[in-house]
Structure 1
């Protein structure tokens, strides 16, 4: 379960970072004909990036605590 949480956080962070910092999403929206939505992307992508980064940090902290509990016992 914890590895799935970490995997979800890392994959989400990578995908959102690619969409934030490269014109991949803008090009795809232009090809599909939805280029009018590019003005709204900042309101969606930046919070999504923050959520996925926090999810990754949470999963890493939880994983480290779990490993420390197993080594202490």
Structure 2
């Protein structure tokens, strides 16, 4: 993955985590649903938000891993003597 894609993946993961965490741990989404008239769905928010939070935290961790592994690549050169037959 090029560096731009890693940054984009990290940005999506962090922004998604912040938005879902804001909706999980504050009454922001409950107030918004009540204002729109959909307060009957507040009982199902944890069914949607907790897996979404787990997904975005995992995505952020994966993006950090990709960014770190690209910065410090492990270089494994094949050993030329392994496949040779000595006469």
Q: Same fold (TM over 0.5)?
A: yes
Structure 1 unpaired stretches of 5+:
none
Aligned length: 71
Q: Computing the radius of gyration over CA atoms, which structure comes out larger, 1 or 2?
A: 2
1:57 aligns with 2:61: yes
SS of 2:56's partner is: helix
Alignment deviations for residues 5-28 of structure 1 (CA, whole Å, 9 cap, x no partner): 000000000000000000000000
The DSSP-based 3-state class of the residue aligned with 2:73 is: helix
Question: 1:1-73 to 2 correspondence within 5 Å?
Answer: 1-69=5-73
Structure 1 stretches (4+) deviating beyond 4 angstroms?
none
The CA RMSD measured in Å over matched residues stands at 1.3
In the aligned structure 1, how far is the partner of 2:12 from the partner of 2:20?
A: 12
Deviation at 1:66, TM superposition (A): 0.2
**Structure 2: unaligned runs, 5 residues or longer:** 76-87
- Higher RCO (CA-CA < 8 Å; seq separation 6+): 1
* Higher percent of residues as helix: 1
